[in-house]
Structure 1
Amino acid sequence: MIYLDTAATSPMRKEAIDAYIEAAKTAFGNTQSLHDAGSTAAEYITSCKQMWGRFFNGRAEGVYFTANASEGNQFTIRSLLRGRPSEFRDIITTKLEHASVLTTMHELEKEGYRIHYIPVDLFGVLDLKEFERAVNQKTALVVMQLVNSEMGAIQPVKACATYAKQFGVPIHCDIVQGFGKIPLDLTTLGVTSAVCSSHKIGGPKGVGIVYIDPAVHWESVYEGTTHQNGFRGGTVDVPAIVAATIAAKYALAEQQDAYQQATNLQEFMSYNLPEGVQLVGNVETKSPFIQGLILPHVEGQWMMLECNRQQIAISTGTACKIGFGEAMSAMSAIGFESDVARKFVRISFNPHTTLREVKAFIEVVNQSLIENNTRATQ
């Protein structure tokens, strides 16, 4: 099968699988146990935290591991809010956030928080002036993704973080679609916290990686939790964390070449899309790994099934929200009507995606257009 759905998940790379097997054999102990087996497992986790600290250009003591990035987003947002003064009830975000963030926002609104959604332009980039008008010294938290998962729009996170810091407001950033793909340095970015995902970069599913600036106050979501300094309860999966760390190491080493390849594929596709197919976003500024397309003739669900029949894997949007209008909400935020949003599909590249594979996808779209036009004239 031609796999053009890396934004949903990526196949595990061999180095990560090998690392998992080795760690499963040698680091099977519980990191909380005081015997040698536990100490060995704890040493593995310490080494992984040190490596992630370097990957982020942060500090090892700010690294935590969760079951996935969705859980990481939810835990981090709530932990930071619990560390803020109780009278601060305003949260700034956008409607383009991941499902895990938007769900948390809906929950927090029921709990008395006021959620302010900053508008975005037709390319999916937030209005910086509106952002600056919304943030003040009473703002509890800013939540902002770096790279949008539907169209690849890159938000001006650094500028937003710089502005928010003037008022002492923490900013949480979902970097899932950015880490290992675009240049990323949390210190330069200026965010308080960030979350990324192992399985987006060739690691195993079931590992989310969280970074929280150790200088910032946060409080545990669940009182009495002892694992990971109270951030998350439960025995950590040492082999999976080791595999995730190795996957990240290789993804970063190959990042520059992978970015150039994705840029070349994006350029080819933008010049060769059939007439009437619209590429969503600004190709000059967006992530080249994610391509959101609006079809002129059929719904995205139909095209996804047709591609699957041709052994090409694509999607109709973020896998975490399939069936719940994920493309609809994102497309609505940038100004598309609902009937247009239903014609949305997404393809996404990985370092192994080839020009031949992109051509095959374009051919399926083109053939469906020809057949549709033929039916329309009969």
Structure 2
Amino acid sequence: MIYLDSAATVPMRKEALAAYAEAAEKAYGNTHSLHDAGSDAAGYWDSCRQLWASFLNVRPEGIYFTGNASEGNQLAIRSLLKGRPPNKRTIITTKLEHASVLTTLHELEKEDYQVEYVPVDRNGIIDIEIYKDLVDDQTALVILQLINSEMGAMQPVAACTAHAKKWAVPVHCDIVQGFGKISMDIKALDVAAAVCSAHKIGGPKGVGIVYIDPAVHWESVYEGTTHQNGFRAGTVDVPGIVSATIAAKHAVAEQQDSYRQARQLQEFLINHLPAGVALTGDVETKSPFILGLILPHVEGQWMMLQCNREQIAISTGTACKIGSGEAMSAMGAMGVETDVARKFIRISFCRLTTEKELKEFLRVVDQTLKKPALL
């Protein structure tokens, strides 16, 4: 199968698979056990924290591991809010956030938090002036995804953080679609918390990585939890974390080459799009790894099924919201009409994607659009 859905997940790297097997054999102990097997496992865990800190340019004591990035988003948001003064009840965010964030926000609204959504333009970029007007001394938290999952829009996170700091407001940032793909420096973004995912970079599913600035006050969601300083309950999955760390090491080492390749693939695709197919977002500022396309007269779901018949994997939006109008909310926030949004498809690249595969995808799209029954 030609796989053009790398924003959903990518195949595990052979190095990550080998690392998992080795760690499962050698680091089988519980990191909280006081015997040597527990100490050995804790040593692996601590080494992984050190490495993730170097990848992100942060302090290792701020690194935590979760069951996935969705859980990481939920725990980071709620932990930061529990550490804020109780009178601060406003959250500033966008409607382009990941499903795990939007679901948490809906829950928080039922808990008497007020959520303010910053409008975005046709390219999916927030209105920075409206954002500045919304952040004030009653703001509890700013939540801003670095790179949107549907069309790859990249937000001005550093500028938003700089303004939030004037009001001593922490910023939480989902960097899942950015880590390993663009140059990543959390210290430069200056966010209070960030979340990334192992399986987006060739690591195992079931491992999320969370950073919370040790200088920022937060409180545990789970009363009485002792694992990972109370951030997440449960025995730490050392083999999964080791595997994720090895995948991250390779992704970081390949990042510049991967980005260059993605830019070339994006340019090739844009130059060869069939007539009537439009790219969403600003090609000069968006991530080249994610391309949202609007078809002229075919619904995205139909095109996805047709590509699947031809053994080509594409999507109609982020896999965490399939069946729930995943692209519709994002497109609606960008001012795209509902009928047009239904014609949305997404393709996304990884280091394994080739120009030859894109040619085959374009052939299928072109043939599908020309079928008389669809006109």
Letter matched to residue 8 of structure 1 = A
In structure 2, the residue matched to 1:191 is 191
Residues of 1 paired with 2:42 and 2:357: CA distance? Answer: 43
> Alpha carbons of 1:228 and 1:375: their partners in 2 closer, same or farther (altered >3 Å)?
closer
Aligned residues: 375
- Using the TM superposition, give the Cα deviation of residue 271 of structure 1 relative to its aligned residue in structure 2, in angstroms: 1.2
In structure 2, the residue matched to 1:41 is 41
- Using the TM superposition, give the Cα deviation of residue 375 of structure 1 relative to its aligned residue in structure 2, in angstroms: 6.1
In structure 1, the residue matched to 2:134 is 134
Letter matched to residue 275 of structure 1 = A
Letter matched to residue 273 of structure 1 = L
Letter matched to residue 10 of structure 1 = V
- Using the TM superposition, give the Cα deviation of residue 217 of structure 1 relative to its aligned residue in structure 2, in angstroms: 0.4
Tell whether the 8 Å contact from 2:12 to 2:203 is kept in structure 1 after alignment: yes
In structure 2, the residue matched to 1:201 is 201
In structure 2, the residue matched to 1:6 is 6
In structure 2, the residue matched to 1:356 is 356
Letter matched to residue 168 of structure 2 = G
- Using the TM superposition, give the Cα deviation of residue 236 of structure 1 relative to its aligned residue in structure 2, in angstroms: 0.9
1:290-369 to structure 2, matched below 5 A, reads 290-369=290-369
Residues of 2 paired with 1:137 and 1:83: CA distance? Answer: 15
In structure 1, the residue matched to 2:166 is 166
In structure 1, the residue matched to 2:146 is 146
Q: Give the match's secondary structure for 2:107.
A: helix
Residues of 1 paired with 2:297 and 2:39: CA distance? Answer: 60
- Using the TM superposition, give the Cα deviation of residue 173 of structure 1 relative to its aligned residue in structure 2, in angstroms: 0.1
Letter matched to residue 336 of structure 2 = F
Letter matched to residue 130 of structure 2 = E
Structure 2: runs of 5 or more not aligned: none
In structure 1, the residue matched to 2:118 is 118
Residues of 2 paired with 1:131 and 1:183: CA distance? Answer: 25
Tell whether the 8 Å contact from 2:126 to 2:155 is kept in structure 1 after alignment: yes
1:94-126 Cα deviation digits (max 9, x unpaired): 000000000001000010000000000000000
Residues of 2 paired with 1:375 and 1:8: CA distance? Answer: 28
Q: Give the match's secondary structure for 1:145.
A: coil
The alignment status of 1:17 with 2:22, answered yes or no, reads no
In structure 1, the residue matched to 2:226 is 226
Letter matched to residue 156 of structure 2 = P
In structure 1, the residue matched to 2:250 is 250
Q: Normalised by the size of structure 1, how large is the TM-score?
A: 0.98
Residues of 2 paired with 1:361 and 1:192: CA distance? Answer: 41
In structure 2, the residue matched to 1:71 is 71
In structure 2, the residue matched to 1:213 is 213
- Using the TM superposition, give the Cα deviation of residue 209 of structure 1 relative to its aligned residue in structure 2, in angstroms: 0.1
Residues of 2 paired with 1:269 and 1:108: CA distance? Answer: 41
Residues of 1 paired with 2:334 and 2:374: CA distance? Answer: 32
Residues of 2 paired with 1:109 and 1:7: CA distance? Answer: 29
In structure 2, the residue matched to 1:267 is 267
Tell whether the 8 Å contact from 2:99 to 2:321 is kept in structure 1 after alignment: yes
Residues of 2 paired with 1:10 and 1:225: CA distance? Answer: 33
Aligned structure 1 segments of 4 or more residues deviating by more than 4 angstroms: none
Letter matched to residue 246 of structure 1 = I
In structure 2, the residue matched to 1:104 is 104
Q: Normalised by the size of structure 2, how large is the TM-score?
A: 0.99
Structure 1: runs of 5 or more not aligned: none
- Using the TM superposition, give the Cα deviation of residue 297 of structure 1 relative to its aligned residue in structure 2, in angstroms: 1.4
- Using the TM superposition, give the Cα deviation of residue 371 of structure 1 relative to its aligned residue in structure 2, in angstroms: 1.1
Tell whether the 8 Å contact from 2:293 to 2:346 is kept in structure 1 after alignment: yes
1:52-83 Cα deviation digits (max 9, x unpaired): 01111000000000000000000000000000
Q: Give the match's secondary structure for 1:304.
A: helix
Residues of 2 paired with 1:248 and 1:111: CA distance? Answer: 37
- Using the TM superposition, give the Cα deviation of residue 298 of structure 1 relative to its aligned residue in structure 2, in angstroms: 1.1
> Alpha carbons of 1:375 and 1:10: their partners in 2 closer, same or farther (altered >3 Å)?
closer
Q: Give the match's secondary structure for 2:144.
A: strand
Q: Give the match's secondary structure for 1:345.
A: strand
In structure 1, the residue matched to 2:84 is 84
